Amino acid sequence: METAEIRRRFIAHFERNGHAVVPSASLLLDDPNLLFVNAGMVPFKPYFLGQETPQWSTATSVQKCVRTLDIEEVGKTTRHGTFFQMCGNFSFGDYFKEGAIRFAWELVTGSVEDGGYGFDPEKIWVTVLPSDTEAKELWHTVAGLPYERIQERGLKDNYWNMGVPGPGGPCSEIYIDRGPQYGPDGGPNADEDRFLEIWNLVFMQEELSAVRAKDDFDVAGPLPAKNIDTGMGLERVAYLLQGKENMYEIDEVFPVIERASELTGKRYGADEGDDVRFRVVADHIRSALMLINDGVTPGNEARGYVLRRLLRRAIRSMRLLGYDGKALPELLPVSKERMKASYPELEANFERITRVAYAEEDAFRKTLAAGTQIFDQAATETKDAGQTRLSGAKAFALHDTYGFPIDLTLEMASEAGLSVDEEGFRALMAEQRERAKADAKSKKGQHADTGVYRGILDEHGPTTWLAYETLETESKALALLSGGAPAASLGAGEIGELVLDRTPFYAESGGQAADAGIIEFDGGRLEVLDVQRPVRGLVVHQVRVVDGEFAPGSALHARVDPEWRIGARQAHSGTHVVHAALREVLGPTALQAGSYNRPGYLRLDFGWTTGLSEAQVRDIEQVSNQALRADLPVSWQYMTLPEARDWGAIALFGETYDESKVRVVEIGGPWSRELCGGTHVDHSSQIGTVVVTGESSVGSGNRRIEALTGVEGFAYLARERDVVGQLTGLLKTQPDELVGRIGDLLDRLKAAEKEIEKVRLAQLLAAGGELAAGAQQVGPVKVVAHRVDGAGGGDVRTLALDVRGRLPQGEPGVVVILGVEDGKVAVVAATNDEARARGVSANDLVRVVGGLLGGKGGGKDDVAQGGGTEVAKVDEALALVVAEVGRVAAG
């Protein structure tokens, strides 16, 4: 029975019994105590708390839920999943215990033909609170359960409350006996793997005045009206009715695992470590799908951080399974197809969902590419030093430099057998936050303490700043600093900070990088490395002595590199042009949220919730270059901030401005009108060109466009032209036919790979007859124990089953194939009916052989699969197979 049908039957059952059908609330229900809806009753809390009056006396729903407290357990157990669906029925002062028990019993045990689930009544157990004799008797009289299958449990298990003063009451849980293969007999009190809880019936009958713990609270008295709140786990019922081992194998989840298996080439069920990763992928893909559908976007806080973590865990799990391609475009559509029967809105919203998800994967792939290599190096260094703990400094470097979130570092460290100094990491994060505050006014300064700069300003007054007027000035030194303190001189190669009375150098601000250039003095030169304004009015140059020994006093000639300034002006004006083009293409809400430009390069961040299409990016580039072709005039003027706002000038987010005087830069009049203190070209054509090279996500609700201008832009286009020329020469085709030709070649390559795979498989199976004919007689059993080099788990399984089918019928037969590939051994054992009748189990053989090979495995008595890493022991393992079969058959 498919999950959607189980869901439909639940709703139909209670609708037939007079319940109002309430659609699932959004996962983002407005509740200050919750990130997400985490239980089926959450949307009904205002009614149970008496804050609102329900419009119905009875209701039913199937509520979407997300829980992430146990995210690390996902895939390791049968019951931990982040997204799940809770089926519930609710009574607000209408029916009570008898009705709740009767409705549940009728649905659970009702025949499939009559709309029920068809569970065997003899397999059902329930638990009740010891003091709730009423519920115990009702289970006996209404459902006919014998008392021995009604077990008692204490307050921690069978009393429900919200954790705060309000309604509470005993509850009763329904369990299904899965059979002796899952654990010992004795009901839920004996084993909760064998006896699986599927439904919890809560009988709200008391008002609690204080709640100190789940089993420690004060009861103020009875509720004015008794209520019912139940929750049936849809996924749990699904895997029971579908005969699956866990929730990851049901029809709404397992197709993602199947697709992941196809992409990675690894078989689900062959290796427990890989199986956990497969289950993480399937669970997290579905959860991300549902979260994005309800409006969550990846980010660094709260809901956005949870979504980002789910997506990145899924992507990384695919990489650990051996798939390096883009995973989400392959997996999200599969999940959508399975979930849309219950949630048809997924189809309508899927374009938006994929824009959000795919952009996050692109960003994370860049992070992984840089950070994984650094992590591996750090882990190796830690182990080589005989330590088991990754330092907080290394974890911080991964976060600060490569964008690795700490939870990813923790996971990777755990997989590498290491712990992480989290306290040290947190301390460094706190220090960074403090530094960021202190450096706000002295960005890139050698010292956060601005006192030394204020002293210079007080003594000499503000720097005469001439960056708009000239590229060269005759200047004199007012102060020289080294290590944050006054210095008498700097020797060759030394770096210090120099304050001039007048300067032509542009100090970094407004997203524009500082000028580069030279300061000449009698007998030597200084290279200008950086220029900053640590305090208002003072320009400080970071310099390195190229020639001679520098000491203040001699006349100085400061000269900006003219090529640098030309490139900087092109890039900064290009940023304004791209911003205007962006708003023309996307609309006026696409506003710049930050920028950076240096000669030949610009990047522009803007608020936008979805990734841009290729067509939109092309349009932005085209509009930009049309503005360059139009040779628009570039001008600037000063005015008050209110005047600038009235004039329609755009002020950038996060910037502070002087109310009395701001500089407004225009390109083409009102087409581009922004507050800006940067350097610019005189006409837009002087930008040369704008070549958009990238568009990506830089956090929740923010995008980034990167582009090249001037000579750098033309050089980029020339390189692309050269690549196209080489490809057209190699393929002997025209440029406009290149894409189609490459597509044809890729299709032919894929077809050839499929044919090669068919031939390879045929060759593998061709050996089946020979292996069967050469079976070794071990007592009454024919045994094939064989090694195949270059074969993985899937091939080994195929061959083992083929050989088993070729063994003589009516005779006991056992086949064990060991495939050796990439330093790993895959083991598959297969037995026929006659061999199993003599006690030979494929599961037992795999466990024995897997243990010898340094691995493990398992399965059923007819077919089992496992593996190991001890390749040198393969021959010993084959001999062990023969000995083990002989021992069992003889017994």
Distance in angstroms (rounded) separating the CA atoms of residues 834 and 810: 7
Q: What is the DSSP string of 155-219?
A: HHHHEEE-SSSEEEEEEEEEEEE--GGGS-SS-TTT-TTTEEEEEEEEEEEEEEEEEEETTEEEE
94 exposure class (CB count in 10 Å sphere: 0-12, 13-18, 19+): middle
Residues β-bridged to residue 166:
208
Distance in angstroms (rounded) separating the CA atoms of residues 341 and 347: 10
Six-digit token string for 267: 């078989």
Task: Judge contact between 324 and 365, C-beta under 8 A.
Answer: no
Name the nearest CA neighbour of 457 among 557, 574, 345, 535. Answer: 535
> 3-class SS at 624?
helix
Name the nearest CA neighbour of 273 among 432, 414, 422. Answer: 414
> Strand order in 690-697's β-sheet?
592-598, 601-607, 702-709, 690-697
Helix orientation angle between 3-16 and 234-241, rounded to the nearest 10 degrees: 120
Q: What is the DSSP string of 62-79?
A: EEEEE--TTGGGTTTSSS
Task: Judge contact between 839 and 808, C-beta under 8 A.
Answer: no
Task: Judge contact between 830 and 799, C-beta under 8 A.
Answer: no
Six-digit token string for 879: 């001999």
Six-digit token string for 456: 């210079």
> 3-class SS at 359?
helix
Residue 676 known to bind ligand: yes
Residue 284 known to bind ligand: no
Six-digit token string for 856: 């493990």
CB contact burial 311-350 (16+ within 10 A = b; e otherwise): bbbbbbbbbbbebeeebbebbbbbbbebbbbbbeebeebb
Length, in residues, of the chain? 891
Name the nearest CA neighbour of 209 among 268, 264, 169, 167. Answer: 167
Which residue's entry shows tokens 């304050």? 499
Residue 576 known to bind ligand: yes
Q: What is the DSSP string of 78-143?
A: SS--SEEEEEEEEEESS--HHHHHHHHHHHHHS-TTTTS----GGGEEEEE-TT-HHHHHHHHHTS
Six-digit token string for 561: 């590199």
What is the Cα gyration radius of the chain?
A: 35
Mention every residue, 6+ apart, whose C-beta is less than 8 A from residue 377.
Answer: none
561 exposure class (CB count in 10 Å sphere: 0-12, 13-18, 19+): middle
Residue 680 known to bind ligand: yes
> 3-class SS at 19?
coil
Q: Which letter does DSSP use for residue 488 in this model?
A: S
> 3-class SS at 813?
strand
Checking DSSP bridges between strand 150-152 and strand 702-709, what pairing results, if any?
unpaired
Distance in angstroms (rounded) separating the CA atoms of residues 180 and 441: 71
Residue 882's alpha-carbon distances to 45, 651, 769, 877, in angstroms, are 64, 81, 20, 9
Six-digit token string for 574: 């290009």
Annotated binding residues for Zn(2+), as ranges? 572, 576, 676, 680
Annotated binding residues, as ranges? 572, 576, 676, 680
